[in-house]
């Protein structure tokens, strides 16, 4: 049993989308979340910069004595998990890519045509393609597309209007048609927030969401390390490096709470 919190982090609001899934399945768990909203997006930055930011996030979580670290960000999962594990060997760390690939490996075969939507850095890392092939070499039809305009729009709260529909069509219409995609991986946690428009535009396509699937990996680690929380009085705390209105609104929306009921704080990392 371990009543400490789980540390979640992302470049911004995307990682928040994993938290309702976690709390639904593990209602006794509590989180410290950090969204690096002042420096989002990470996905168009170089690996070197993403890794530096990742270390700052890891140090922040370590200082707060979290029991586990969850990189609720595909971009960090693709480029920075190794350095976190090296620096904090005593803390279990999970990313979001491997759990999503587990689902693909479990459910798909040589027939399926899998599309990976992700940031530039995640696509460039080839992490999805390599991980899926490692888990199930028979899966050969894997296609990737980088969608760098999604994250800035989503951070602005543009998730359900003509601008986002047009942007989705811009990136996906040809990609979906030419590659005859039947399974689409939301390989960026922000994209969970535009899942509905994607489903509306491409009905019948199966969606695998990295935001959702990470919960199985968290559950497994909690069990393996005997870290499940008992009923405890710890509260969820949400930090951002810039307290944007959308960050606050998204927490209210995802947790179904009023601002007065939430602990939301500003914290700069780069000082």
Instruction: Show which residues are catalytic.
Output: 73, 188
Residue with tokens 């999604």: 150
Tokens encoding 227? 């870290």
Distance (Å, whole) CA 78 – CA 53: 14
Single residue of 188, 229, 251, 254 touching ligand DGL by CB under 6 A: 188
Q: In the complex, what is the shortest distance from the CB of residue 253 to ligand DGL, in angstroms, rounded to a whole number? A: 17
Q: Is 113 in the site for ligand DGL (CB under 6 A)?
A: no
Q: Hey, what are 79's tokens?
A: 């480029």
Q: Residue 241 interacts with ligand DGL (CB under 6 A)?
A: no
Binds ligand DGL by CB under 6 A, chosen from 5, 9, 11, 32: 11
**74 binding ligand DGL? (CB under 6 A):** yes
CB nearer ligand DGL, residue 31 or residue 229: 31
Beta-carbon contacts of 23 under 8 Å, excluding residues fewer than 6 positions away, are: 29, 255
What is the rounded distance in angstroms from the CA atom of residue 254 to the CA atom of residue 242?
Answer: 19
Query: What angle separates helix 127-135 from helix 97-107, to the nearest 10 degrees?
Result: 40
C-beta nearest to ligand DGL: residue: 43
Q: How many CB atoms are closer than 10 A to CB 156?
A: 13
| Residue 90 beta carbon to ligand DGL: minimum distance, rounded to whole angstroms | 26
CB closer to ligand DGL, 152 vs 197: 152
- Residue count at the site for ligand DGL (CB under 6 A)? 17
What's the token pair of residue 131?
């991980």
Binding positions for ligand DGL, rule: CB under 6 A:
10-12, 14, 40-43, 73-75, 119, 122, 151, 188-190
């Amino acid at each position: 049993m371990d009543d400490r919190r789980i540390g979640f982090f992302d470049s911004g609001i995307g990682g928040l989308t994993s938290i309702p899934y976690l709390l639904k399945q593990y209602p006794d768990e509590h989180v410290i979340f950090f969204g690096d909203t002042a420096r989002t997006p990470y996905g168009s930055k170089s690996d070197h910069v993403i890794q530096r930011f990742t270390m700052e996030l890891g140090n922040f979580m370590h200082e707060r004595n979290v029991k586990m670290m969850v990189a609720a960000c595909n971009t960090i999962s693709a480029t920075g998990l190794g350095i976190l594990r090296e620096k904090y060997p005593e803390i279990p760390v999970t990313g979001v890519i491997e759990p999503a690939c587990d689902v693909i490996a479990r459910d798909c075969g040589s027939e399926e045509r899998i599309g990976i939507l992700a940031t530039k850095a995640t696509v460039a890392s080839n992490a999805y393609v390599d991980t899926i092939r490692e888990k199930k070499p028979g899966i050969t039809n894997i296609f990737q597309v980088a969608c760098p305009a999604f994250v800035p729009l989503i951070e602005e709260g543009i998730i359900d209007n003509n601008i986002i529909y047009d942007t989705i069509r811009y990136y996906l219409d040809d990609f979906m048609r030419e590659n005859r995609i039947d399974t689409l991986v939301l390989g960026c946690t922000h994209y969970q927030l535009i899942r509905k428009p994607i489903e509306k535009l491409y009905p019948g396509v199966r969606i695998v969401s990295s935001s959702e699937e990470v919960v199985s990996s968290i559950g497994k680690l909690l069990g393996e390390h005997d870290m499940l929380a008992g009923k405890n009085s710890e509260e969820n705390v949400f930090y951002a490096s810039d307290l944007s209105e959308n960050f606050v609104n998204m927490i209210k929306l995802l947790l179904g709470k009023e601002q007065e009921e939430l602990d939301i704080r500003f914290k700069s990392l780069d000082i």
